Amino acid sequence: MPRDLPVSNGNLLIAFDERYNLRELYYPYVGQYNHTMGYPCRFGVWCDGRMSWVADEGWERSLKYEEDTLVTEVVLVHREMGLRLICHDCVDCSSDTYLRRIELENLHGGERDVRLFWHHDLNIAGSREGDTAYYDPSRRALIHYKGQHWFLISGTNGREWGLSSYAVGIIGHHQAEGTWRDAEDGSLSRNPISQGSVDSVGRVMVRVKQKATAYMWICAGRNQSEVSRLDHDIRQTGPETILRRVRTYWKFWVTKGDNPDELDQDILKQYHRSLLVLRTQIDNRGAILAANDSDVMQYNRDSYSYLWPRDGALVAHALDLAGYHEITRRFFTFCANVVDPAGYFWHKYNPDGSVGSSWHPWADANGHLQLPIQEDETALILYALGRHFDQQSDIDYLRGVYTSLIEPVGDFLASFRDAGTGLPDMCWDLWEERRGVHTFTVAGVWAGLMAASKFADIFGDSDRARRYFRVAEEVRQAADTYLYSPEEGRYLRGVRLEEGQVVRDYVTDVSVAGLFLFGYLGPRDARMRATMDHMEKTLWVKTHVGGMARYERDTFYQVSQDTENVPGNPWFLCTLWLAQWRIEAAETLQELEKAVELIRWCIRHALASGVMAEQIHPYNGSPISVSPLTWSHATFVATVCLLRDKRRALLNNGEDDDMAEAA
């Protein structure tokens, strides 16, 4: 089930599923720790003797955001109960507080008593064991805690501060369904404390004649005094003031530097939404998380709540194109702090900088040592840093990471090679499924070495500069020898080096687009055109949904066995790579329209909230795997920036041509 609505401030991340259950709560890092483990925290309404959780049947739900903000706009209508609820959720940009505003509208007439219930099934620090939940009468609030993770839950009906009733109990132990069942008669038991595997329910009473407003909030902190202070601040400041400042902050943040006339309104709207969704997945200390959707745990018992250096590098590049350089500098500093002393990056990292879980083995089939890495993850950090410097020329920042990041990574890239071919040595591919020498990786290594050479030259490190450049040229020569097939007239996915033999991989794979993405080949190079034309013909999904698959016969979340028409599920980022090539190769505004069609394909297949998944169903277009995927949104942002820049260039060239003709 996708996460339709994430909201965050870079410390606290909250996300809702398609039925408006709160399903993700991460703190104090975005992506670490998951305090719900994906279990639903319910929101319910009691009126006229009837109770209904808003995730139940009978509710009409519209889950969107207010335009250009990280404030939600959720409309919930229950015709039989005669109620319409308009909810606005946000995480405060100035404190680690989640706030919800509920406007209730009475559709039946007369004055009615409505009881709002908030259920919280917290699994603090990712575990059901050892939690405590209790009612604090001094603040009329519920508190959950374990160790240094504390959460205070309270609310108001606009007249009285605090909860009107409460209950704390056991969930998921000895067949206990949970304390949320206690709310279904409209009353609560007022049990004041429980420990172990616990949940809680709080209630706010509202009198509704025509319309009324209520609020609830969760304050996150390290101890009781911190969450109590945040609760006090809400009461002093007022919920409406908090909502107003969150709206104002994000509207300014997402529109800075925009020229709205340069982009069609539907594209501009999704561009802004993608930037905002991206920001929800980025921790304030620099980690860029791949995704925070714990439903994927059902697939392989692990999540996407990690920093993959490759994903992070490409997200950082997109943010640089969009003008958010302060975020990318924090990312590069994070990388400088976690890079292995040998100069490579591990598979993935936790937001606190520790090494994440991995399935890449340290030993080959014969028990010999092999590095469990994807070398593109290492190389693309330098590539992205090089593109960052091209825009910013921030030499003082570069000096700060030269010895800690650029030197060790450049030295590693220059030395991690196969002596027989001159290619980079074998490693795992970007899809993390096979070992070999992959064209995407080789293009990234070449680009990383070229960036390292430029940096070394800037700092007078002439020997390194010459060495990095020489190795980059040797890698290019080897790649053209082994990775290009004259018979096929295209570049191949890669090769394997087996007992001195080079075994070619002819499977069509969209990752070969890395050749133009990282500047190895120009987009209009004849070999690149032939490669991309073959790729589009082979990997385009031939259903009414369309879109580009990753590679032929892709089995990851496979839906269809008809691989002739559905080579794999359509991916947003794969479709956008095709759009990027069309943009880069375009020589006229008319040719750009082919790319615009693909951009609009992405808009059509996003959720109503604007959230994009990793991949979609090839027959009905529903989201598959994690949602949102940070990489999908970053690729959309990068593609729109490339479109904007190419339009400017073509229009300027057209003006120059007209002026020359007139002269």
* H helices present in 323-353, as ranges: 325-338
Q: By the 8 A CB rule, do 114 and 206 touch?
A: yes
pLDDT in tens, 100-129: 999 999 999 899 999 999 999 999 999 989
Spatial neighbors of 190 by CB under 8 A, at least 6 apart, are 135, 165, 166, 167
pLDDT in tens, 134-154: 999 999 999 999 999 999 999
How would CATH label the architecture of 309-339+369-521?
A: Alpha/alpha barrel (1.50)
pLDDT of residue 256: 86
How many Cβ atoms sit within 10 Å of the Cβ of residue 647? 17
Cα separation, 322 vs 315, whole angstroms? 11
SS3 427: strand
Cα separation, 575 vs 175, whole angstroms? 47
Q: By the 8 A CB rule, do 9 and 96 touch?
A: yes
Cα separation, 466 vs 415, whole angstroms? 14
Question: Comparing C-alpha atoms, which of 34, 52, 56, 32 is closest to residue 44?
Answer: 52
pLDDT of residue 251: 97
Phi first, then psi: give them for residue 293, nearest 5 degrees: -135, 100
Provide the phi-psi class of 508: left if phi over 0, else alpha when psi is between -120 and 50, else beta: beta
pLDDT of residue 296: 79
Bridge partners of 97?
219
Q: What Cα–Cα distance (Å) separates residue 295 from each residue in 10, 20, 626?
A: 21, 15, 7
Bridge partners of 63?
74
Spatial neighbors of 320 by CB under 8 A, at least 6 apart, are 328, 384, 387, 388, 391, 392
- The mean pLDDT value for 38-51 works out to 97
Question: Comparing C-alpha atoms, which of 230, 233, 202, 206 is closest to residue 216?
Answer: 202
pLDDT of residue 660: 42
With cut-offs at 50, 70 and 90, classify the pLDDT of residue 295: confident
pLDDT in tens, 4-32: 999 999 999 999 999 999 999 999 999 99
* H helices present in 219-302, as ranges: 224-237, 239-255, 265-280, 297-300
Please determine, for residue 428, whether its predicted confidence score (pLDDT) is greater than 80. Answer: yes
The least confident of 448-452, 495-499, 527-531 is: 495-499
What DSSP string runs through 349-414?
B-TTS-B------SB-TTS-B-----HHHHHHHHHHHHHHHHHH--HHHHHHHIIIIIHHHHHHHH
- Residue the block writes with tokens 């904007």: 644
pLDDT in tens, 174-204: 767 899 999 999 999 999 999 999 999 999 9
Q: By the 8 A CB rule, do 538 and 507 touch?
A: no
Phi first, then psi: give them for residue 287, nearest 5 degrees: -70, 135
- Residue the block writes with tokens 């392989």: 300
3-253 shares its CATH topology with 309-339+369-521: no
- This prediction has a pTM of 0.96
Please determine, for residue 608, whether its predicted confidence score (pLDDT) is greater than 80. Answer: yes
With cut-offs at 50, 70 and 90, classify the pLDDT of residue 653: confident
Tokens at residue 598, please?
Answer: 């693909």
pLDDT of residue 298: 58
With cut-offs at 50, 70 and 90, classify the pLDDT of residue 173: confident
With cut-offs at 50, 70 and 90, classify the pLDDT of residue 663: very low
The maximal CA–CA distance of the chain, rounded, in angstroms, is: 88
pLDDT in tens, 504-554: 999 999 999 999 999 999 999 999 999 999 999 999 999 999 999 999 999
Q: What Cα–Cα distance (Å) separates residue 301 from each residue in 295, 298, 630?
A: 9, 6, 20
Percent of the chain with pLDDT over 90: 93
Residues listed for the chain? 663
Q: What is the CA radius of gyration of the chain?
A: 27
Q: Provide the edge-to-edge strand list for the sheet that holds 112-120.
A: 50-53, 43-47, 112-120, 198-208, 165-170
Helix (H) or strand (E) holding 203: strand 198-208
Bridge partners of 424?
417
Cα separation, 102 vs 239, whole angstroms? 11
Mean pLDDT of all residues belonging to the chain: 95
Cα separation, 323 vs 272, whole angstroms? 13
Spatial neighbors of 121 by CB under 8 A, at least 6 apart, are 36, 39, 40, 41, 171, 178, 180, 199
Strand 198-208 vs strand 484-485: parallel, antiparallel, or unpaired? unpaired
Q: What Cα–Cα distance (Å) separates residue 621 from each residue in 59, 558, 569?
A: 23, 14, 10
Cα separation, 87 vs 75, whole angstroms? 6
SS3 416: coil
Phi first, then psi: give them for residue 116, nearest 5 degrees: -100, 130
What DSSP string runs through 97-165?
EEEEEEEEEESS-S-EEEEEEEEE---GGG-STTEEEEEETTTTEEEEEETTEEEEEEEE-SSSBS-SE
Strand 494-498 vs strand 501-505: parallel, antiparallel, or unpaired? antiparallel
What DSSP string runs through 243-264?
HHHHHHHHHHHHHTT--GGGS-
How many Cβ atoms sit within 10 Å of the Cβ of residue 537? 9
With cut-offs at 50, 70 and 90, classify the pLDDT of residue 262: confident
Cα separation, 662 vs 659, whole angstroms? 5
Question: Judging by beta carbons within 10 Å of its beta carbon (0-12, 13-18, 19+), is residue 334 exposed, middle or buried?
Answer: buried
- The mean pLDDT value for 60-77 works out to 98
Please determine, for residue 302, whether its predicted confidence score (pLDDT) is greater than 70. Answer: yes
pLDDT of residue 659: 38
* H helices present in 402-509, as ranges: 407-415, 439-458, 462-482
Please determine, for residue 299, whether its predicted confidence score (pLDDT) is greater than 60. Answer: no
Helix (H) or strand (E) holding 597: helix 589-605
Domain extents in the chain: 3-253, 309-339+369-521
607, 615, 91, 599: CA torsion to nearest 10 = -60
SS3 303: coil
Q: What Cα–Cα distance (Å) separates residue 465 from each residue in 454, 458, 459, 469?
A: 7, 9, 9, 6
How would CATH label the architecture of 3-253?
A: Distorted Sandwich (2.70)
Please determine, for residue 460, whether its predicted confidence score (pLDDT) is greater than 80. Answer: yes
SS3 318: helix
How many Cβ atoms sit within 10 Å of the Cβ of residue 503? 11
pLDDT in tens, 475-484: 999 999 999 9
How many Cβ atoms sit within 10 Å of the Cβ of residue 556? 17
Cα separation, 374 vs 628, whole angstroms? 24
